[in-house]
Amino acid sequence: MTENTDVVVVGAGYAGVLAANRLTQRDDVTVTLINPRPIFVNRVRLHQLVAGSHEAVVDLAEILSDRVRLVVDTATRIDVPERAVTTTDSGPIGYDYLVYAVGSGSADPDVPGAAEFAYPMATWEDACRLRPVIESASPTAAVTVVGAGATGIEVAAELAEQGRRVNLVCGRVLGPYLHPRVRRSVAGRLSALGVAILEGPDAQVTAVTSESVRLSGGHTLSSAVTIWTAGFGVPDLAARSGLSTDAIGRLRTDETLTSVDDPRIVAAGDSAAPSDLPLRMSCQTARPLGAHAADTVLARIAGMRPAVIDVGSFGQCIGLGRHAATVQLASRDDIANRFSLGGRLAARIKEHACTNIVEELADEARDPGSFTWAIKDRKRARLLDDATARAKAAR
């Protein structure tokens, strides 16, 4: 009789759900998924949750294979020698292989008053706390969004489209990922919605109070609600468990997504740092990384050599309210170029992407192994060579 293999997946985001479903390709693999809540959070819709136009969640039972055992609990430590995950309420859960897919959240702000008076929105819990605050605020009260990456732009546009008075404090520049030509287009749309854009050296936040945001140029903005979207961090589970992590806490792996410390631990999604050259945190890369992590585990079970990652990017899609968006196109190695799509066409693309993500996860549950990704990064080998050369030169 074939010996059964126990695989535990920690985290039910884009990468974790796809990995868990994909692992069910083998009948002799038992998959356990540990997640602190029984719902899947479609994070690309959290700005809509804050604005009250979407709930941004799906019951995990709707998108998980019936062969995946869901444990609703919090993983508190990985006992690497014992091959077990310690949880808050369910006791230790043993594994033969572990997929580490804990995702990301808000970075801790180091600006005085920000942790006390500003509202993050990187997680479902954050967004749920923020939504009633927005709803209870006067329609004419100023709302300040700090951070002008995709999340900041999207929530600023969503709220401004509802008629709210919104300041978008960018710090250095609006949409750092965007090509300058596309950035100008996004700025035009935001301005048309009434968003006040503050950027440059005088637009660094120096303090936050319950009623204001102070900037480095000496200006103070009145702010009834301050939303903090500047920066992302990752849970410290790997570091607390004695595993090697990069500077912000992502699990360090090789190019197969295998931990540099233990061949039975594989990482995926925002919490993975392959070769210390992690991909951009996004659902776009999380899904193929989740699939690849599962493929790595299945290859090891089969006694085969796992493949190296080959994941590219099309760019970035940013919602600009309910009726417009921008699709910033990029090279396969994720460098934005001057080309983009905009307006209602881009809005339809954005909405299709938000819906299709959930459908992909459910499809993988019904037909494990069916998920594929067309965009590859053929230049990653060059990036690795360049990083190696720089490291040698620095010695």
Q: The tokens 């690497």 sit on which residue?
A: 80
Chain-centre distance for alpha carbon 188: 27
Tokens standing for 254? 């090789």
Question: Whole-angstrom Cα distance, residue 321 to residue 56?
Answer: 16
How do strand 205-208 and strand 232-233 relate by DSSP bridges?
unpaired
Query: What does the DSSP 8-state code read for residue 166?
Result: E
Cβ neighbour number for residue 201 with a 10 Å cutoff: 9
- Tell me: the pLDDT tens digits for 263-300? 999 999 999 999 999 999 999 999 999 999 999 999 99
pLDDT for residue 122 is more than 50: yes
pLDDT for residue 321 is more than 90: yes
Query: What are residue 283's phi and psi, to 5 degrees?
Result: -65, -25
Question: Whole-angstrom Cα distance, residue 375 to residue 203?
Answer: 37
pLDDT for residue 20 is more than 50: yes
- Tell me: the pLDDT tens digits for 341-361? 999 999 999 999 999 999 999
Query: With contact defined as beta carbons under 8 Å apart, do 184 and 162 qualify?
Result: no
Question: The whole model's pTM is what?
Answer: 0.95
- Tell me: the pLDDT tens digits for 184-202? 999 999 999 999 999 999 9
CA angle in degrees (0–180, nearest 5) for 157-162-167? 45
Q: Is the dihedral angle over the CA atoms 250, 254, 258, 262 positive or is it negative? A: negative
- How confident is residue 2, by pLDDT bands cut at 50, 70 and 90? low
Q: How confident is the model at residue 363, as a pLDDT?
A: 98
Please provide the DSSP assignment of 71-127 as one string.
EES-EEEEETTTTEEEESSS--EE-SEEEE----EEPPP-STTHHHHEEE-SSHHHH
Return all residues near 68 (Cβ < 8 A) that are at least 6 apart. Answer: 20, 21, 23, 24, 31, 32, 33, 365
pLDDT for residue 389 is more than 90: no
- Tell me: the pLDDT tens digits for 89-118? 999 999 999 999 999 988 889 999 999 999
Question: Whole-angstrom Cα distance, residue 62 to residue 359?
Answer: 10
Query: With contact defined as beta carbons under 8 Å apart, do 199 and 172 qualify?
Result: yes
How do strand 97-100 and strand 5-10 relate by DSSP bridges?
parallel
Percent of the chain whose pLDDT exceeds 70: 99
Q: How confident is the model at residue 174, as a pLDDT?
A: 98
How do strand 205-208 and strand 212-215 relate by DSSP bridges?
antiparallel
- CB contact burial 67-98 (16+ within 10 A = b; e otherwise): ebebbbbbbeebebeebbbbbeeeeebebbbb
What type of residue sits at position 290?
G
Q: The tokens 């609006």 sit on which residue?
A: 174
- How confident is residue 1, by pLDDT bands cut at 50, 70 and 90? very low
What type of residue sits at position 152?
G
The pLDDT mean for the chain works out to 95
Q: How confident is the model at residue 332, as a pLDDT?
A: 85
Please provide the DSSP assignment of 295-341 as one string.
HHHHHHHTT-PPPPP-----EEEEE-SSS-EEEEEE-TTS-EEEEEE
Q: Quick one: which of 8, 116, 21, 141 has its CA closest to 71?
A: 8
Query: With contact defined as beta carbons under 8 Å apart, do 34 and 13 qualify?
Result: no
Q: How confident is the model at residue 380, as a pLDDT?
A: 80
Angle, helices 180-193/150-161, rounded to nearest 10 degrees: 30
Percent of the chain whose pLDDT exceeds 90: 90
